[in-house]
Amino acid sequence: MTIELPSSGWYVLANARLHASLTSANLGPADADGFVLADLAIAEGAVSGIAPKTEGRPVPPRSVDLAGRIVMPCFVDCHTHLDKGHIWPRRGNPDGSFPGALEAVGADRAANWSAADVEARMEFGLKSAFAHGTKAIRTHLDSIHPQETISWPVFQALRERWAGRIELQASSLIGIDGVRDGAFFDALADRVAEAGGILGAVTYMVPNLGDLLDTVFRAAIERGLDLDFHADETDDVNAASLKRIAEKAIEHRFEGRILVGHCCSLARQPGDDVLDTLDKVAQAGLAVVSLPMCNMYLQDRRHDGTTPRWRGVTLLHEMKARGIPVAVASDNTRDPFYAYGDLDMLEVYRMATRTIHFDHPVADWPKTVAATPADVMRLDGTGRIAVGAPADLVIFRGRSWTELLSRPESDRIVLRDGARSDATLPDYAELDPILR
Ligand SMILES: [Zn+2]
């Protein structure tokens, strides 16, 4: 895109199209799509002023005319698996199913996930996300023994190396059954606390689920940790661990933040059950992240020559209506849980729009890829365009939702601290040495 930005000093991004849900400035009435035209002043790497575009006002000096292009805050991706990313060429999913994915990843992990291997693939994912305009990522880290001793130090090194470019967080990932080994789980919780991480698990409807959740909540409370669960990633209506998590959060009077991912089965359960669960989720203050790309790929996968009949995503509209914070995120990239993906949050938002109907009206759905996940990750001020906040922005070519979401926007301009980023997507060949 031929937009020249000054290389030094202050300047004004004139005629920028901002979505009202993503700016804290009061810019007057928005149009039917939620947009307002504004001039954004950028000085010393931060947004120093936001003024609504008014008829007849002269163009400010040092202006770069964006001619109504959409400007969004840099993205926040609150649910990824950087440690699994890009193993597909080495280990695919034989049948595209969830069990197939679990087994393939388990085998690849045992055979190949050295520190060097995990680091190379995580680094590749971070480069991709950064080039697409993401500034904060939470990744889950497979923490089944002995992988936790390998992947957590890699994460800590990468978090330091990427500081200032991508705010990196990590959550432990083990099947809830792993909590039964008290010594292992205690040591893992200590490791997570020492690394400044988030405590996480995958909940299944196993015997004594309530007791296991008690252990997880107590471990988090003792160490002051936030929680992050994978729950009910299945079409089985009996999978109702989201409700159990909410009940336990209430019972333990948990004061940290809890993010729950997937919750697919909720969309298959009878209405009364669903309402009761949603009430409890709202009361417990849980946030929910939907992973539309992964859900479309794995859920309702059939092997009898028939076509999938449901979308796999959870009930985000009903949740948002109750004030439950909702986000969408990338989840897996080019691994057995999802054969595709590149940590591009615009792609996630486009898929969410189509799959979950984030349109007509768009309302405040754009918050799901920016402000809301930032809040969940305790990144105050991130994910919105505000005076005093860093000028971490993405300038698109599109001037409306239909223009924005119809093309890949591969030529988007990413601004970091007010300067144009020259980051490019890494070449797939960079991974050849470890994937051969
Ligand atoms: Zn996940």
DSSP per-residue string spanning 358-398 = --SS-TTGGGGGTHHHHHHTT-TTTTSB-TTSB--EEE-S-
Half-sphere exposure of 110 (CA within 13 A, CB side): 5
* Main-chain dihedrals φ then ψ at residue 279, nearest 5 degrees: -60, -45
The strands making up 287-290's β-sheet, listed across from edge to edge, are: 199-203, 227-231, 258-262, 287-290, 326-328
- Helices 147-161 and 115-132 meet at what angle, rounded to 10? 40
pLDDT of residue 351 exceeding 80? yes
pLDDT of residue 58 exceeding 80? no
Q: What's the gap in Å between 262 CA and the centre of ligand 1? A: 8
Give residue 371's pLDDT band: very low, low, confident or very high (50, 70, 90).
Answer: very high
Q: Which residues pair with 202 in a beta bridge?
A: 175, 230
- Report the relative pairing of strands 11-19 and 199-203 from DSSP bridges: unpaired
Q: What's the gap in Å between 60 CA and the centre of ligand 1? A: 46
Which of 54-63, 150-159, 246-255, 315-324 has the weakest average pLDDT? 54-63
Q: What's the gap in Å between 140 CA and the centre of ligand 1? A: 7
Helical ranges in 67-208 per DSSP H: 98-112, 115-132, 147-161, 182-194
CA 341 to chain centre: 13
**Positive or negative: CA dihedral 215, 218, 219, 220:** positive
* Main-chain dihedrals φ then ψ at residue 420, nearest 5 degrees: -65, 125
pLDDT at residue 2 in the model: 76
Q: What is the pLDDT of residues 90-147, one digit of tens each?
A: 999 999 999 999 999 999 999 999 999 999 999 999 999 999 999 999 999 999 999 9
Q: What's the gap in Å between 230 CA and the centre of ligand 1? A: 6
Q: Is 140 left (phi over 0), alpha (psi -120 to 50) or beta?
A: beta
Q: Which residues are CB-neighbours of 43 under 8 A, at least 6 positions away? A: 9, 10, 418
Q: Which residues are CB-neighbours of 271 under 8 A, at least 6 positions away? A: none
Q: What is the mean pLDDT of the chain?
A: 96
Tokens 């203050």 label which residue?
Answer: 285
Which one from 233, 251, 255, 347 is the annotated catalytic residue?
Answer: 233
pLDDT at residue 1 in the model: 64
Write out the E strands in 263-356. Answer: 287-290, 326-328
pLDDT at residue 60 in the model: 79
Radius of gyration of the chain (CA): 22
Average pLDDT over residues 207-232: 98
What does the alpha-carbon distance between residue 113 and residue 107 come to, in Å, rounded to a whole number?
10
pLDDT of residue 406 exceeding 90? yes
Give residue 414's pLDDT band: very low, low, confident or very high (50, 70, 90).
Answer: very high
How far the first Cα of the chain sits from its last, in Å, is 37
pLDDT of residue 37 exceeding 80? yes
Q: What's the gap in Å between 223 CA and the centre of ligand 1? A: 24
Q: What percent of the chain has pLDDT over 70?
A: 100
Q: Distances from the Cα of 79 to the Cαs of 133, 136, 212, 287, in angstroms?
A: 16, 10, 23, 12
Nearest one of 394, 410, 292 to 351, comparing CA atoms: 292
Q: What's the gap in Å between 331 CA and the centre of ligand 1? A: 5
Tokens 């971490």 label which residue?
Answer: 392
Structure-block tokens of residue 367: 């918050």
Q: What's the gap in Å between 387 CA and the centre of ligand 1? A: 34
Which of 3-7, 22-26, 133-137, 222-226 has the weakest average pLDDT? 3-7
Whether 260 and 242 have beta carbons less than 8 Å apart is answered as yes
Average pLDDT over residues 195-214: 98
What does the alpha-carbon distance between residue 280 and residue 246 come to, in Å, rounded to a whole number?
6
Average pLDDT over residues 281-291: 98
Q: What's the gap in Å between 291 CA and the centre of ligand 1? A: 8
pLDDT of residue 262 exceeding 90? yes
Q: What's the gap in Å between 34 CA and the centre of ligand 1? A: 31
Q: What's the gap in Å between 3 CA and the centre of ligand 1? A: 37
Structure-block tokens of residue 26: 């009061």
Q: Which residues are CB-neighbours of 297 under 8 A, at least 6 positions away? A: 96, 337, 338, 339, 340
Count the neighbouring beta carbons within 10 Å of the beta carbon of residue 130. Answer: 23
Q: What's the gap in Å between 91 CA and the centre of ligand 1? A: 18
Whether 58 and 95 have beta carbons less than 8 Å apart is answered as no
Please list, residue by residue across 184-215, b when 16 or more beta carbons sit within 10 angstroms of its beta carbon and e when fewer do: bbeebbebbbebebbbbbbbbeeeebeebbeb
Looking at the chain, the number of H-run helices and the number of E-run strands are: 13, 16
Is 233 in the active site? Answer: yes
Q: What's the gap in Å between 78 CA and the centre of ligand 1? A: 10
What does the alpha-carbon distance between residue 406 and residue 422 come to, in Å, rounded to a whole number?
24
Q: Which helix (H) or strand (E) holds 81?
A: none
